[in-house]
Amino acid sequence: MTAPAVSVPGAVFGTIGALAAFPLRLAAREVERQHGQLRRGITRRTTHVVFGRALLAKAGLTKNGDVGIERRVAVERAAGRTLISENGFLRLLGLMKAPEASSLSRQSLIEQSRLLGADLDLLSLFDAFEHDCEPYSFRDLILARKYAGLVAGGATWGAIARSVHRSGPVASLTAKSLNVGSQHGRPDAIYLEGGQSELDGQLLFDLGAAAQGDDTLEDLFAEAEAAEEGGDHEGAAALYQRCLAIDPSDAIAAFNRANCLRAGGHAADAAHDYARAIKLDPAFVEAWFNLAGLMSEQGRDASARRHLQRAIALDRSYADPVFNLARLEFDAGNLPEARRLWVRYLELDAESEWAGVAAKGVQFVDMQLARTAG
């Protein structure tokens, strides 16, 4: 994982998982002070994704939890967003001291340690090294060799990351012997000194009761996301409402709740929460788009048209509202405008199933206009 070129001003940070060492609200305040934005979750406007280490602990409690993290990492990387570890994020904000200068490239670390690149990237993303990306240090190389040995012994990257963060600063492990816990009936743990003691303790700042409130909110939000993903729309809506009771300024919680209400057949309440998300964040393009879809379902085409136009104005690379607006114009008999929008859609998306529909739409309009002209 190469060092990201990150500048806070103008950046939109999204978080996946709670920060283990710093309350999100304090980080959000600092990001805002530096002229950026920080939000829970991911939207189209998100430019940088911060993976909080609390995500590791939750993944360790569920079967295939680490696979879910790997899948999410792959999705965000494929979307072209910059991925940042928790420590990397805090260093960027000036809230954590940067480690000493280093010179080892990612490829050099892989070659010298024989640690798989995928494991290196994930361990870096969850701060199992002194540096969260290249260039790495000599201490990182020592750690990489230790981790490669643990992997060879049957450990997973997730088990390693969860264990090393119980020991204090990860650089302190360079002088210690690490062993896979499967030899002692604990495949999810790493042991010191031939298994004499398991890594314990917590790498947390002492933030007292203030941090506990943030943990509650982050846990609620994560629980709501899990319920939504699992199809429990009613339960998820209730959980998002509790999030909003704690933090009424959370546009993403309002948006997610609206989606759950819509899926549960509560159209009026969903419209209210889409409007709430837009009021909290007028540039929330997905909220404009989904509200347009809700209006269209209710036969309120004029409102749907206005909301789609707003979504397109906010994000000219967003293909979906262009397609839906083309369909509205076609149904209204405005064939030249429908054609223009379908052509624009094909400029944004020439490969999907919907692209085929748009191409047929253009052909149909051309035939109709030619017939009229003839």
CATH number, domain containing residue 216:
1.25.40.10
Domain C-terminal end among 164, 198, 232: 198
pLDDT score recorded for residue 60: 76
Assess if residue 7 is contained within a domain.
no
309, 269: one domain = no
**Portion of the chain with pLDDT greater than 70, in percent:** 86
193, 216: one domain = no
The answer, yes or no, to whether the previous bond of 135 is cis (omega within 30 of 0) is yes
42, 124: one domain = no
Domain C-terminal end among 149, 170, 198: 198
pLDDT-derived band at 186 (thresholds 50, 70, 90) equals low
142, 171: one domain = yes
pLDDT score recorded for residue 294: 97
18, 79: one domain = yes
Most confident of 125-134, 161-170, 365-374: 125-134
149, 211: one domain = no
Domain C-terminal end among 281, 315, 340: 281
Assess if residue 16 is contained within a domain.
yes
Assess if residue 360 is contained within a domain.
yes
The single-letter code of the amino acid at 56 is: L
Assess if residue 168 is contained within a domain.
yes
Mean pLDDT across the stretch 39-49? 94
- Decide: residue 21, CB within 10 A, 0-12 exposed, 13-18 middle, 19+ buried: buried
pLDDT score recorded for residue 226: 86
Q: What is the domain count for the chain? A: 4
Assess if residue 291 is contained within a domain.
no
pLDDT digit string (tens) for 209-261?
333 445 578 888 988 988 998 999 999 999 999 999 999 999 999 999 999 99
- Mean pLDDT over the full length of the chain: 87
Task: Determine the structural domain holding residue 322 and report its residue range.
Answer: 301-374
pLDDT score recorded for residue 202: 33
Q: Of 97-106, 205-214, 230-239, 338-347, give the lowest mean pLDDT range.
A: 205-214
pLDDT score recorded for residue 4: 53
265, 225: one domain = yes
Tell me the C-alpha distance between 139 and 127, whole Å: 13
Distances from the Cα of 369 to the Cαs of 325, 336, 339, 373, 374, in angstroms? 20, 8, 10, 6, 9
Assess if residue 6 is contained within a domain.
no
194, 210: one domain = no
pLDDT-derived band at 31 (thresholds 50, 70, 90) equals very high
322, 371: one domain = yes
Q: What does pTM read for this prediction?
A: 0.82
Assess if residue 264 is contained within a domain.
yes
Assess if residue 290 is contained within a domain.
no
Most confident of 46-60, 107-121, 210-224: 107-121
18, 88: one domain = yes
275, 231: one domain = yes
